Structure 1
Amino acid sequence: MNGARKIFSAFLVLTFLAALTSVGNPTVAAQGLARDFSISTDCTHIVIGKGKEVELDVRIANLGERDEDIILSISGPEDWEPRFEKSWAYEVQAIHLGCEEDRNSLSLRFKAKPPEEATAGDYEFTLRGTTADGQLSRSLKIVITLKAKEVAAAPTAEKVQLTTKYPSMKQPAGENFEFEIELKNGVNEARVFDLAAEIPYGWAAYCTPRWEKAKKISAIKVNANATERLSFVLIPPPDVPEGEYKVTFGARSGEDVATIELKAVVTGTYKLKLGTEAEVLGQGETRNIKAFAGREKSFTLFLWNEGSAPISDVDFFSSKPKDWEVSFKPEKLSSLPPLTEEMKPTKVNVIIKPKAKAIPGDYLVTLTASGKEDRESMELRVTVGAPMTWGWIGVAIILVVIGSLLGLFAKLGRR
C-alpha cells in the first residue's frame, strides 16, 4: 500500500511539474472558460496529545466556469495513515465539482493518527488537489505538533448531544421507520452540524427538520446552547426479511461528534383474502347462491394469505338470518402460511341451511375468517326457493281441482 502511494504521489508531482512548464498563470482558460479551484481549512497548525487522532474539515471549491474532476493526494509521514474521508465511512481519492453555485464545493475530512512510537515534535502534511488533465494543482500545508502527553479537552458529550424518546421501532415490511431525534448544541456559539448515518445494505435514509418534512437535509445550523428537532426516515427495501436492523445516526461539527444507536424491527405482513370458486378457479359458484328452505347447501370457500408471515389461529363464524344454520369444515385453522409458500389457496366447506319455513326470496349471509393478525369477511346473497316436493304437491292439487271441475261439468251436462 505504501509503495503504491509513493508511485501515485510521484506521478502527480511529475504531472504537476509538466503543467508548470506550460502554464504560468494560476488561472487557466480552456475553450474560453476560466478555471480555478481552492483547498482551505480553518486550522493549519494544531496541537494534539499522544494517541489522539487528527480530524480537520477541509473545503475544496471550484472557482472556475467549468466542471472539474480533482485527484487528491497527501504527502507527509505515511505511518500516520493520512487520508481524506467523507461521511465517516470511506476514503476519498478523487472528487467531481460542478460550476453551479449549489454543487461547486465539497467538505472532506482530513484524518491522521500518530503511531504509538511517534516522538514529540512538529509533523508537516501537504494536502494537494490536481485536475484530471494536470492543468491545475493546488496545495495546503498543515502542521501538527505532537505533545508527549495527552492534551486535555472538554468532553464531547457537553458540546453536542443526540437523544430520542423511541430508539426502537417496529413496522411491517413495506413501511418506513421515522425516528424523532433532538440535536443539542452545548457551546456558546452557533454551529453547523453535518448529519450522517450508517444503515443496512440496500436501505435508504434521509433527514428533515421536524416541522419541514418536505426539506431533505444533510446539515443543520443550531444556535448557541439550543436544540433542534429532526426527523430521521429509514426506508427498507421492498423484499426486506423479518428481523432487527441496527442503525447509527450521527452529528458532527469540527471534532465534536455525537452518535445514537437506533433499532428498526421489521415484522411480517399479514393479508387475509377470501374468494369463491368462480373468483379463484374461473368457474363454479359465485357470491350469489341458491338454496331451499330446510335443506343444506354446500358452498366452497377459498382463503389465502397474501402477506409475508403466517396468520395464526384462524376461526370462522357467520352472520345469518334468524333460525338459519351455518357450519364450517374445518372449524379452525391453526396457521395460514403465505401464498408464496403454499402456492395454492386453502379450501373450507361451508354448509348453509335455511330454516324450514323460510319464505322464498333473497337473504344475506356474511362469512368471516379471523386470525390473530388479520381478518376478512365475505357477503353471500342466498336466494331461497320452495322445495320441489311442494311443487309436485301443488301440481297434484291443481290436477285434482281440474278433475273435479270436469266431473262436475259432465254431470251437469247429462241433466
Structure 2
Amino acid sequence: MKQLSAVKKLGLPVIILSVLVLTLIGGNQAFAANGLTLSTSYPGLTVKPGETIRFTLEIENSGLPSQSIKLATRSIPEGWNSEFQGGGREVHQVFVKRGDYETVNYQVEVPAETEEGTYQIQVAAQGGSVADILTLELQVSREAQLASKLLAQYPELQGPSSAVFTFKTDLVNNSSQEQSYSLGAATPAGWGVVFKPSYENKQIASLSVEPGKSQGLQIEITPPSNVKAGEYKIPIRAISAEETIETELTVIITGNYELKLSTPTGLLSFAATAGQEKAVALEVVNTGSADLKDIKLSSWAPTNWTVTFEPDHIAVLPAGESQEVKAYVQPDNKALAGDYVVQMTARAPEATGQAEFRVSVKTSTIWGIVGLVIILLLAVGLYRTFKVYGRR
C-alpha cells in the first residue's frame, strides 16, 4: 500500500511534466512549419579593435504571409555602432515572400579602444507576432588577422550608355601568405568587364599578391548600347584557394535620347492621286535608352497640300519601343502629274526624328475623260468648219 501511495504521489507530477514537454515540442514544430528564421553562416568571428566587420544575414519566411520583416539590434556592447544594409543603403525592414528568403548585411564597427575579449550582439527579425533572435559573437584580439579587401576609390560612377566606366581599385591581401586570385564579375547580359593592372594596358584574369601587400586594379565596365537608363549593381569577386573577396560597383546610366521616324517596311515613297487622300503607315521608334515624352507629329508639304496624323501626339514612348501612326496626305486637286517631296517630323523636347517621302502624283481619271471629251469636241468642231468652208 505504501508503494502504491508513493506511485500515486509521483504519478501526478510526472503526468503534468509529460504534458508540458509534449506541448512545448508541438509548439516548436508548429513554429518551424509556420515561422521566421534569422541566421548567418558565420555567427562567430575574430576581429581587431577598430575593425569594421560585416555579417550576411538570411531571413527565411517558412509559412507566414508575405510581409515586411522588421530588423532591430536587441543588444550590443556600449560604444559600438551597427546598422542593417540593403541595396547600398541603411535599412530597418526587408520584405520577404511566403516560402522565400532575403539577405541583408549587418555591419558592426568595433571601437579602437575595445579591450580584448569575447562580446555578444543580439539581432532580431520580427513579422507580426512572430520573431527570431540571433546571437552574434565577436572575439576581439589585437593579433587577429584582418580580412583581405577589394577597395574602390569611387564605387559609383555615372554617365551615358556610350561611356566606358573605369573604376580604380586596390586588392589588399591581409592574409599571412601569398594569394593567387581569380578575377570575375556577375554582369547582366550584354555587359562587358575588363581587368587591368594599374597603369598597364594588358587584360588579366588573375593575379598574385604578396602577404600584407596590395595590387592596384583598373576595372573597365562597358554597358550595351541599348541599355535603359537606371542604376546597375555589378558584383566583383577575387577568389583564391583560401578566401573570396567581394565588392559591389554601381553604374548609373543617365540615358541618351534618340528618335526615328520611318515606315514599318522602311519604304519612303508612295503614290497618290491629285485631290484624293492617301493613308500612309508610319512608325515612330525610340532608339535611345531613356523614355521620351510629349512627341508631336508635323509635316512640310507643297502649297495647297494637306497632311494630318492619327494620332498627332504621343504622350510617352518607352526606350526601345515603337508606335504606329497614320499619316493622311492629300495633294492639291490641281497638282500636275509628277514626283513631289513631303517631309514628316516626330519631335520630342529631347530628340527629333525626320523622314523625307517621295510622292508620285497621278491626275484623276475624271480629268482625263474630261480632257478626251474636249479633244473630241474640238475635232468635231474642226471637221464641221472644214466641211462648211471647204465647199466655198
TM band (smaller chain)? 0.3 to 0.5
TM-score (norm 2): 0.46
TM-score normalised to structure 1 length: 0.44
